[in-house]
Amino acid sequence: MIIEEKSTLEAWKKSLKLVIENGVDFRDENSRICREFFNLGIVIKEPWDDITKPISILNKFREWKFPPLEEIASIMLSKKLAPEYSYSYGPRLFNFQGKINQIDNFIIPLLKNNPNSRRGTVVLWDHKEDVNPNKRDIPSLIMVDFKIRENRLNSSAVIRSNDLFFGWTANVYQLFVLSEYIRKETGCDRGLINTISFSAHVFEDQFEFIKKILKDK
């Protein structure tokens, strides 16, 4: 299933509606009721216009405090692991296994030298760290692909497990800031953002808030 919208907000709302109406409930390993939809693609054609809008909506609810934008961005761009996190995407992108800078030393030179390349893919899954059946806290974002077409940088991410209510809103913002970093270095224009979630889901304790968001015009 592919959802394609011009704006971030409409893509998010349409995705939430799809999972609420068509997802299948089960009790996950943390004993939470989870409503899940398999293999959901979400394409945002012009994400820059309202990329932070879903986060702004979440911040209006008093039941939780969403991390500030600076912190969400640093998870993707900082080469150092923040002490409050067991893993972070930035070190895996810019210092993978302590020795590989996948962005500055691969993606950017590749796309500069060959803008039509189909090889602009980075991986965040680390077999040395993540292939452990007893380890619970592992990355959801598995890989990101970058392609320049018609001088526009398009970014696509594969996400193994995606909480559409909280997680996706942060993920697309992180993809945007990473894309902006690469775009400025390669001198191209902004393009679409695409996420592919193997398990797109929401939780039972989110249902009432999701219904409020869907009703809000």
CATH number of the domain encompassing residue 28: 3.30.572.10
Mean pLDDT of the chain: 95
Evaluate if residue 84 carries a pLDDT over 70. Answer: no
Report field, pTM of the whole predicted structure over 0.85: yes
Range of the domain at 187: 2-82+89-215
Ramachandran angles phi, psi of 24, nearest 5°: -110, 130
Evaluate if residue 144 carries a pLDDT over 90. Answer: yes
C-alpha 146/C-alpha 168 separation (Å) is: 19
Q: Which amino acid is at 116?
A: N
Evaluate if residue 14 carries a pLDDT over 70. Answer: yes
C-alpha 207/C-alpha 211 separation (Å) is: 6
Nearest to 183 by CA among 208, 146, 140, 216: 146
Number of domains, the chain: 1
pLDDT for 192-201, tens place per residue?
A: 999 999 999 9
Confidence of residue 86 (pLDDT cuts 50, 70, 90): low
User: Who contacts 77 (Cβ-Cβ below 8 Å, separation ≥6)?
Assistant: 90, 94, 177, 178, 181
Ramachandran angles phi, psi of 99, nearest 5°: -150, -10
